[in-house]
């Protein structure tokens, strides 16, 4: 099955589908450093650029369309402007691309989209209602939606994300992948002999471990068994109520980029060709591979049941 991927980042969503037998023929992202990481691991089929500026006729036809469209407009950590934010309109670009495929008789058989947990509740549910309406009533897909947590798919990170799975076939009966037992902790994923630069200085340690100041209070904890959600701004080193910190050799340190990769389901063979700052950003934005792989397999099973899967 040929797959086109939008907002690919370093390729977490893509890897899950590739691992399950899909053929990723084209991908896109506007971040040159994310594209650098993607190319180092998956090949040259990713195109650098703003999807709004790529002509429709240059986007290949596909069987399956996937994308983790930008989450900032809907995130609990952002201003939650939704479609009032120009980045929120990128969903409409996806709809425009699919509509063009439909008009040319090349409608994708399935669409898989990923976003933050708060997508379903943003603006009292009106944002998701509009997304659902476009996918179902305008584009003609049967739509399924559920919030999945990375920790329920074998990786010790609390990371709740909204997954939208759509089928062109209205007879489709789809079930999201069953949860898996978590048999690892964050400590199982830690590196040894870590560079001294990742350890906190005595000067910054009290700030990192504090519970906040002024009107903002939140409990700071370290050495968690299940990691907090990785975020794109990890390089800034937030307090321990937001970022993950661990104790090693009697000292407190931040996570390394490789540990962040492991917390997103990437094997150690995954190449990290960029700076730590860019790596933190990319892994903080990534789709967890384990969840992507489980989604990909469940979609594959449904397409097989419908008689629409092709190798």
In the predicted structure, residue 73 carries a pLDDT above the cut 60: no
Q: Which of the residues 71, 166, 231, 260 is marked catalytic? A: 71
Residues 55 and 22 in one domain: yes
Work out the average pLDDT over 91-102: 94
Confidence of residue 83 (pLDDT cuts 50, 70, 90): very low
209: left (phi over 0), alpha (psi -120 to 50) or beta: alpha
Asked whether residue 39 falls in the same domain as residue 145, the answer is yes
Residue 71 a catalytic site member: yes
311 located within any domain: no
Burial pattern 189-214, b for ≥16 Cβ within 10 A else e, equals bbeeebeeebebeeeeeeebbeeeee
Domain identity same for 197 and 133: no
Residue 77 has pLDDT above 50, yes or no: no
Both 301 and 273 in a single domain?
no
Nearest CA-CA partner of 253 in 207, 284, 214, 222? 222
Asked if the structure places residue 299 within a domain, the reply is: yes
Count of domains observed in the chain? 2
30 and 171 co-located in one domain: yes
pLDDT reported for residue 123 = 82
In a domain, 310, yes or no: no
Find the mean pLDDT for residues 274-286.
98
Domain check: are 252 and 151 in the same one?
no
Is pLDDT at 87 greater than 90 in this prediction? no
Residue partners of 155: CB distance under 8 A and separation at least 6: 182, 184, 263, 264, 265, 288, 290
- Residues 146-162 have a mean pLDDT of 98
Q: Give the span between the Cα atoms of 19 and 17, in whole angstroms.
A: 5
In a domain, 224, yes or no: yes
In this structure, the answer to whether residues 174 and 268 fall within a common structural domain is no
* CATH number of the domain bearing residue 89: 3.40.50.150
pLDDT (0 to 100) of residue 211: 86
Residue 19 falls within a domain, yes or no?
yes
Are 30 and 141 contained in the same domain? yes
CATH code of 244's domain: 3.90.120.10
Task: Verify that 120 and 48 share a domain, yes or no.
Answer: yes
The predicted-structure confidence for 2-35, as pLDDT tens digits, reads as follows: 999 999 999 999 999 999 999 999 999 999 999 9
Residue 243 lies in a domain: yes
Q: Based on the domain organization, do 40 and 166 belong to the same domain? A: yes
Average pLDDT for 280-309: 98
pLDDT for res 223: 98
What mean pLDDT, rounded, does the chain reach? 93
Domain assignment of residue 40, yes or no: yes
Same domain, 37 and 154: yes
CA dihedral for 276, 224, 228, 217, sign (positive or negative): negative
Overall pTM surpassing 0.85 (yes/no): yes
> What is the spatial distance between Cα 147 and Cα 162, in angstroms, rounded to a whole number?
4
Residues 125 and 224 occupy one common structural domain: no
Full domain range(s) for residue 293:
2-180+288-305
Q: What is the pLDDT of residue 86?
A: 44
Position 79 scores a pLDDT of 53
């Amino acid at each position: 099955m040929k797959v086109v991927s939008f907002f690919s980042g370093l390729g977490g969503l893509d890897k899950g589908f590739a691992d399950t037998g899909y053929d990723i023929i084209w991908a896109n992202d506007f971040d040159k450093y994310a594209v650098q990481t993607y190319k180092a691991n998956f090949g040259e089929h990713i195109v650098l650029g703003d999807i709004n500026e790529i002509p429709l006729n240059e986007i290949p036809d596909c069987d399956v369309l996937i994308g983790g469209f930008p989450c900032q407009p809907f995130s609990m950590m952002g201003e939650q402007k939704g479609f009032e934010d120009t980045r929120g309109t990128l969903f409409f670009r996806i709809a425009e691309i699919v509509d063009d495929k439909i008009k040319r008789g090349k409608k994708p058989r399935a669409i898989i989209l990923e976003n933050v947990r708060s997508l379903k509740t943003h603006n009292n549910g009106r944002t998701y209602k509009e997304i659902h309406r476009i996918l179902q009533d305008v584009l003609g897909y049967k739509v399924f939606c559920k919030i999945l947590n990375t920790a329920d798919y074998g990786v010790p990170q609390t990371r709740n994300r909204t997954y939208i799975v759509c089928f062109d076939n209205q007879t489709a009966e789809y079930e999201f992948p069953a949860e898996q037992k978590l048999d690892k902790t964050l400590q199982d994923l830690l590196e040894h002999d870590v560079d001294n630069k990742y350890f906190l200085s005595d000067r910054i340690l009290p700030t990192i471990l504090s519970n906040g100041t002024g009107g903002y209070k939140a409990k700071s904890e370290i050495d968690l068994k299940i990691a907090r959600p990785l975020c794109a701004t990890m390089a800034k080193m937030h307090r321990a109520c937001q970022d993950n910190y661990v104790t090693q050799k009697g000292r407190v340190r931040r996570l390394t980029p490789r540990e962040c990769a492991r917390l997103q389901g990437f094997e150690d063979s995954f190449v990290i060709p960029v700076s730590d700052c860019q790596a933190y950003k990319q892994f903080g934005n990534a789709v967890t591979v384990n969840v992507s792989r489980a989604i990909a397999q469940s979609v594959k099973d449904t397409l097989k049941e419908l008689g629409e899967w092709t190798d």
